[in-house]
């Protein structure tokens, strides 16, 4: 890919400034040729080692440049509909609901062994009770808080969703402080 310009970092200068003039010129020419014209140089020794350290940064900048010309960074995931949007079901719900809920100490337990089950956040009895003690404020307030947090996670990218447990634990610690 040919370019009219490229980013030159202080670290590039710092890397070559102590080289003998001939090697410094060789590395600089190779870097410029690669950054502007995409042509890989044939270097040896110290010149090759220094260029090898510069190359990933030049590649990263070229990728950003290319993505910018195409309208920005490519999307990494499909966007889900917002939680409050209406969803149309084309088939009627024919599931038979067998309610096996058991009331334990004022808390309704579902048949799935989960004490809280959202789209993303799913807590067993031990985690639920542990977090409830940290949160304080009563079971209903805590469940509302979890439901709101779960709704937020449901709209996030997969890489954010996968860390929900640790991030929510940290958020609870902040609330308790």
pTM above 0.85, yes or no: no
Mean pLDDT, the chain, integer: 79
Residue 105, pLDDT > 90, answer: no
Per-domain residue ranges for the chain? Answer: 10-69, 107-176
Measured distance CA(55)–CA(40) in Å, rounded = 10
pLDDT per position as a tens digit, 32-64: 999 999 899 999 999 999 989 889 998 888 888
> What is the pLDDT, as a whole number, of residue 106?
45
Contacts of 159 (CB under 8 A, 6+ apart): 76
């Amino acid at each position: 890919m040919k370019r009219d310009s490229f980013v030159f970092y202080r670290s590039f200068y710092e890397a070559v400034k102590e080289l003998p003039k001939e090697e410094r010129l060789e590395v600089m020419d190779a870097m410029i040729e690669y950054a502007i014209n995409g042509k890989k140089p044939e270097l040896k020794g110290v010149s090759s080692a220094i260029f090898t350290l510069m190359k990933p940064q030049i590649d990263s900048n070229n990728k950003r440049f290319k993505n910018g010309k195409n309208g920005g960074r490519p999307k990494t995931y499909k966007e889900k509909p917002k939680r409050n949007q209406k969803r149309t079901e084309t088939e009627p719900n024919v599931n038979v609901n067998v309610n096996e809920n058991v009331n334990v100490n004022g808390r309704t337990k579902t048949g799935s062994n989960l004490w809280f089950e959202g789209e993303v956040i799913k807590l067993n009895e031990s985690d639920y009770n542990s977090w409830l003690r940290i949160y304080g404020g009563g079971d209903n307030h805590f469940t509302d808080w979890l439901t709101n947090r779960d709704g937020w996670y449901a709209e996030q990218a997969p890489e954010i969703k996968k860390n929900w447990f640790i991030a929510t634990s940290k958020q609870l610690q902040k609330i308790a402080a």
